Structure 1
Amino acid sequence: MNTLREMIEKINMETNFSGELRFNEPMAAHTTFNVGGPADLWVKPGEDFFPRYTAVLLKEARSYGIPVFILGGGANIVVADRGIRGIVLDTSGWMGWSVLPPGKGKRQDGDWICMGIRSGTTVDAAAEAAAGLGLGGLEFLAGMPGSVGGAVWMNARCYERSVSDILVQTEFLDAAYILREIPFRAEDFAYKKSPFQDMPGLILSAQFRLAPRDREDIRGEMEKHRQDRERKGHYRYPSAGSVFKNNREFGKPTGKIIDELGLRGLRQGGATVADYHGNIIINTGNATAADIRGLVETVGDRVYTALGIRLEPEILFVGDWDGYEGIPTRDVLS
């Protein structure tokens, strides 16, 4: 911890740090599941110098051998009860968007406008901003928790639309701390897969191909999606939305598979399979991260035993799960 303090004090003096910074910050306050132990250091750089500070932070952390976890909206992760060792870099201070000149980042012909959005912007705010400009294409993200950076990283999908359907290019700070513009290539993306899942570095912003559309039509579709999410119970309890990915080869949605096996209401500690949706696990108020992970594994095992199919978790398990076997833990940057 002393090494971490020394490093961050050195960086902050050199960069004239502006933002928020806390040691032993409970990650439960930064995830939609409301679980997770303390991060050794949580830092949220201010907007004015986010890219420059981030590049310095990542470079110094590597030289000191200190891992860094990139936090977006905290909407698709379960942080271990022991927390996260090293640094949590919170991108939520890096927000904003702009409409680019015609032809910038051109992906294909047609009447469209390219909109650049910073990675810390929530996807719901991004959809609202586009609607205000009369630009359609982001409606399917309305009401979804999480950040633009996380949505690109995961290639978020809902209502038969994926981020890759509208992505033009991504601004990426790579492992050599070089800012790169990575053009969209269809072959690099698949169902909830993106090339960034295998690339160390940080998504700084993304450009999206949007089309002029009547503002009222856009807002009507957005409201329809928000009401659908509310009706399905996405906002009733702390959760991460869908737990498992859908697989077309299974012949039906994962939630229906779980429902038909009578697993709604299955419980472990304070974690429960929602009684209104088989593919949502909720924190009823006192769940631990271990409760959630254990329940995810139990549901997966029950489905495999009954049907011989393996469900793939969509949520990521991050942090200090030392000694815990089962579902793989997502590594942090180091």
Structure 2
Amino acid sequence: MFNLGEKEKKNSFPVKFRKIIQENVKLGSFTSFKIGGNADIYITPSSPDELSAALAFIREERIPAILLGGGTNLLIPDEGIRGAVIHTDRLNKIRLLNTGKEPLVQAEAGTLMKDLTEFCAEYGLAGLEDFAGLPGTVGGAVFMNARCYEKSISDVLISVSALYFSGKECTLQKYDCNKGDWGYKQSPFQPSDKRYAVINGNRPIIVSATFRVEQGDAILIRKIMENRIADRTAKGHFKLPSAGSAFKNNHAFGKPSGQLIDEAGLRGLQIGGAQVAPWHGNFIVNTGSATAQEVVELIEIIRKRVKDTTGFELEPEIIFAG
């Protein structure tokens, strides 16, 4: 267990930033699953400078760490995180950029997608309304190349500002969106080892993203947003704590993952407090007392049963932390 009370660790973090560090913080409430133990060290930067300082701190002290955004597709272990958690929720500024040409909207990584779409609606800006009701943050949506109603984040993304490590130096660099770098729920910010929550190596950390928008009909924009939110609600996205879609869809399967799970007779299957949602095969829900271990066991049963009945290997969309 890492303890900031150790003098050498406490003194290694810049004095003006020590206010953003806490110890032994429970993480479950920061995730949509409402599951998970405590973090030894919990850091909440509120600016790119503080984020850079936090990253430099954990790197210098060789402290293992994970990144936490909206926590909407993240499963925290029951035993918590041995090391540090950097939570981006205070990096939530939104700006309308006046380029003299097309309007652009820039949002920091910890901005909730619902706040970004609401901002656009308020200013009558079209382009992001299909993402209304999408849980999570801008950073998470960019990282996973979130897709809603046949539109991907990469379709409206102009550029990303991210922190990159080179040796001991951490610098803020701009990435201009190149369509060839993106795919179905794939982005150039995902590490090849698929340990998506872990901060390690030279992995870039998203600080903000800039999106292409255009002036539109504010009433129509609001109507589309309301329809998207109503559709998610009708499908049961918000009935019980969950991480949304538990498995990625794969066009090669010929059917959505939820349908394959239904046809395998798994809808409603329950282990402890973790259950395949009775109303949707691709949701795993916390009925009130689920543990991370129960969710993991349920995922493995689903994957095995679908593989046995169809030959298809489902790929989890849930990110396993720690």
Residue identity (%) = 42
2:51 corresponds in structure 1 to 54
Alignment of 1:317 with 2:320, yes or no, is yes
Supply the AA of the counterpart residue of 2:159.
Answer: Q
Deviation at 1:61, TM superposition (A): 1.3
Cα distance change, pair 306–226 in 1 and its aligned pair in 2 (3 A): same
Cα distance change, pair 7–288 in 1 and its aligned pair in 2 (3 A): farther
Distance 1:120 1:244 in 2: 24
- Kept in 2, the 8 Å contact 1:67–1:85? The answer is yes
Q: Deviations over 1:252-279 (max 9, x none)?
A: 2111111122210011111000000000
Cα distance change, pair 13–196 in 1 and its aligned pair in 2 (3 A): closer
Distance 1:204 1:309 in 2: 37
1:216 corresponds in structure 2 to 219
Deviation at 1:112, TM superposition (A): 3.6
- Kept in 2, the 8 Å contact 1:143–1:229? The answer is yes
Deviation at 1:163, TM superposition (A): 0.4
2:99 corresponds in structure 1 to 102
2:133 corresponds in structure 1 to 143
Distance 1:180 1:7 in 2: 31
2:86 corresponds in structure 1 to 89
Taking structure 1 as the reference length, what is the TM-score of the superposition? 0.88
Distance 1:4 1:74 in 2: 28
Could you tell me which of 100, 112, 115 is aligned with 1:125? Answer: 115
C-alpha RMSD of the superposition = 1.6
Deviation at 1:171, TM superposition (A): 0.2
Q: Deviations over 1:205-248 (max 9, x none)?
A: 00001121111111111111111111111111000110000111
Deviation at 1:27, TM superposition (A): 1.3
2:25 corresponds in structure 1 to 25
1:178 corresponds in structure 2 to 171
Deviation at 1:12, TM superposition (A): 5.1
Deviation at 1:37, TM superposition (A): 0.9
- Kept in 1, the 8 Å contact 2:9–2:61? The answer is no
Supply the AA of the counterpart residue of 1:305.
Answer: D
Cα distance change, pair 18–252 in 1 and its aligned pair in 2 (3 A): same
Distance 2:8 2:286 in 1: 36
2:34 corresponds in structure 1 to 34
Structure 2 counterparts to residues 179-218 of structure 1, below 5 A: 179-198=172-191, 200-218=203-221
2:15 corresponds in structure 1 to 14
Distance 1:3 1:289 in 2: 27
Deviation at 1:7, TM superposition (A): 5.5
Supply the AA of the counterpart residue of 1:150.
Answer: G
- Kept in 1, the 8 Å contact 2:3–2:40? The answer is no
Cα distance change, pair 307–7 in 1 and its aligned pair in 2 (3 A): farther
Deviation at 1:132, TM superposition (A): 0.8
Mark the runs of 5 or more structure 1 residues left unpaired by the alignment.
Answer: 104-110, 320-334
Cα distance change, pair 58–73 in 1 and its aligned pair in 2 (3 A): same
Distance 1:306 1:139 in 2: 39
- Kept in 2, the 8 Å contact 1:124–1:144? The answer is yes
Q: Give the 3-state SS of the residue equivalent to 1:241 in structure 2.
A: strand
Distance 1:253 1:298 in 2: 18
1:107 corresponds in structure 2 to none
Cα distance change, pair 210–4 in 1 and its aligned pair in 2 (3 A): farther
Supply the AA of the counterpart residue of 2:260.
Answer: I
Q: Give the 3-state SS of the residue equivalent to 2:42 in structure 1.
A: strand
Distance 1:117 1:40 in 2: 29
Distance 2:239 2:104 in 1: 35
- Kept in 2, the 8 Å contact 1:72–1:90? The answer is yes
- Kept in 1, the 8 Å contact 2:76–2:321? The answer is yes
Supply the AA of the counterpart residue of 1:180.
Answer: Q
- Kept in 2, the 8 Å contact 1:11–1:56? The answer is no
1:72 corresponds in structure 2 to 69
Q: Deviations over 1:95-138 (max 9, x none)?
A: 111121226xxxxxxx7421111111001110000111111111
Q: Give the 3-state SS of the residue equivalent to 1:42 in structure 2.
A: strand
1:280 corresponds in structure 2 to 283
Distance 1:98 1:205 in 2: 11
- Kept in 1, the 8 Å contact 2:3–2:41? The answer is no
Q: Give the 3-state SS of the residue equivalent to 1:69 in structure 2.
A: strand
Could you tell me which of 308, 311, 320 is aligned with 1:308? Answer: 311
Distance 1:16 1:63 in 2: 15
Q: Give the 3-state SS of the residue equivalent to 2:230 in structure 1.
A: helix
Distance 2:118 2:6 in 1: 39
Q: Deviations over 1:129-185 (max 9, x none)?
A: 011111111112111110100110010112111100000000000123110000001
